[in-house]
Structure 1
Amino acid sequence: MRSDADAPSHPVNQARRLAAECFPDALSVVLAGSAASGRVTTTSDLDVAVLIEDGGETRRETLRFEGRLVELFLHTRAGLAELFAADAASRRGVMQRMYAEGLVLCERDGAATRIKQHAEDALREGPGALASATVESRRYVLTDALDDLADAADVVERLAVANVVLGTAADLLFDHRRAWTGSGKWLPRRLLEADPEHGGALLDGYRRLCENGEPEDFADAAMGILTLVGGPLREGYARTWRAAAEPAAR
């Protein structure tokens, strides 16, 4: 009996055909994202990293193949090094994860295998620490947002402030644990990886606030994270204005 994985419509098999038909000369093709991790659904797209010869163009491209949406990440070796550096600077490690956790569909001379090892090493090392001034700024923003959350009577305002609390508390926790960040659906996943206790409490509190309008557990969880990184910051905080300074909470 043939399993679902053997079916022509299975996303991994679709990705293999994509690699063979569209990138026969590629140095390597790697399938990443939900299709590679087993979380794929009927509407999931294919995230595909393609290493091409030097002289090609590093770019991102969206197309449809056999009815399924495909996000292509095409890059030369030099382009990939630049992408790795940019993702390390943003603390997200997107391309590093694509290679470290992805499925190698094809490669020449072990190209993908070498990159995969480099990406795994980078992920284990983690991102660099935030500058102390940045941590102070985010402590101040979170302190201010928690004050606003306690005062917010309007439901929409409360949810808007809660988003600031969630994002800022997550940033501080990621930095405290020297963990890679995430956005969108990857934010809760990365939070639970970085710190199941504090990250889990923050997410559970956020869910209760969204479902029932009750902010107490969410505020307590955010305050717990704030305490980890030095506590609330109000009076006495000052910073010199710079063009590249982080935006204020409001």
Structure 2
Amino acid sequence: MDADPVEQARRIARQRFPDALAVVLAGSSAAGRAKSTSDLDIAVLIEDGGETYRETLRCEGRVVELFVHTRAGLAELFAADVATRRAVLQAMYASGLVLVDRDGEAGRARASAEAALRLGPPALEADAVETKRYGLTDALDDLGDAEDPLERVAVAGVVLAGAAELLFDHHRAWSGGGKWLPRRLREADPGLGQDLLDGHLGVCATGDPARLAAAAREVLDLVGGPLREGYRRTWRGVIESVATAPGKRAG
């Protein structure tokens, strides 16, 4: 396997997408932090009339994640990333390493991505925020009551995720999952975000929920406080805890 992931990405682009309008290498490989086990995340813009798809393959011993799209497909994917509040593809184009830029196509895609990232996600509907407040309040009650260490760790994950969603929305900041959750939390709120992460780590390491609970209560105070009595929703065919898409009223 070639030790240089950038050159490997260039070869893949030349061999598989010789007519590409734009090719961007993202992730740790683009940032110069790649390990031998790191994936290659490659966004590929092709002419309209082609197929928009995602594909995972192995090339020269390395896993490659291909994000292939037409111009129309790219616009649809950008819109979908806004709806999920994660802006994954926008981040790839905004911070990735440009390998192919035919007629300025990569530059235009990057400008669009950067504009979206600056704007941030739309604010959640008030009902969605209320439902998340209720869910976090309930999870904090469970965290305080949990006696089984495994249950406590499991509930701590729910508290971290629920508090993070509310904090992201409070700051109109992009969210993230997996390894991107701590990264985005620190970006959105370096102080309180780090307190949530440290509190969660404390539960996992020592079983003590105090710091996580305090940080989560601070998040609740930012968005209207805990919510228990008085909460009511009428069933309308959606699970309200996940009904958070912009423009759709939960409940």
Q: TM-score range by the shorter chain?
A: over 0.9
- The correspondence for 1:83, drawn from 73, 77, 83, is 77
Superposition pairs for residues 95-244 of structure 1, below 5 Å? 95-244=89-238
Cα offsets for 1:8-35 (capped at 9, x unmatched): 5211111111111221111111001111
Which has the bigger relative contact order, CA under 8 A and spacing at least 6?
A: 2
Runs ≥4 in structure 1, deviation > 2 angstroms?
A: none
Amino acid at match of 1:193: E
The equivalent of 2:249 in structure 1 is: none
For 1:37 and 1:239, how far apart are their aligned partners in 2?
46
Query: 1:83-132, CA deviations, whole angstroms, 9 ceiling, x for partnerless residues?
Result: 00000011000111110011100121000011001100100000000000
C-alpha separation in 1, matches of 2:163 and 2:113: 27
Check the 8 A contact 2:132/2:241 in 1, yes or no: no
Which runs of structure 2 are paired with 1:25-104 in the superposition (5 Å)?
Answer: 25-104=19-98
**CA–CA separation in structure 2 for the residues paired with 1:39 and 1:188:** 18
| Alignment check: 8 A CA contact 2:91 2:113 kept | yes
TM-aligned CA deviation for residue 247 of structure 1:
4.2
- Give how far 1:160 is off: 1.3
Structure 1 partner of 2:4: 10
Give the conservation status (yes or no) of the 8 Å contact 2:2–2:60: no
CA distance in 1: counterparts of 2:2 and 2:146, whole angstroms: 53
Per the TM alignment, residue 36 of structure 1 is displaced from its structure 2 partner at its CA by: 1.0
Stretches of structure 1 that go unaligned for 5 or more consecutive residues are 1-6
Query: What is the TM-score with the length of structure 1 in the denominator?
Result: 0.94
**Aligned partner of residue 95 in structure 1, secondary structure:** helix
Question: 2 CA distance for matches of 1:132 and 1:37?
Answer: 38
- Where structure 2 has 5 or more consecutive residues not aligned to the other structure, the ranges are 243-251
Matches of 1:33 and 1:129, distance apart in 2: 27
Percent identical residues: 66
1:64 positional shift:
1.2
* Aligned-pair Cα RMSD in Å: 1.3
1:207 alignment partner AA: L
In the TM superposition, what is the alpha-carbon distance from 1:41 to its structure 2 partner? 1.3
Q: 1:22 and 2:22 equivalent?
A: no
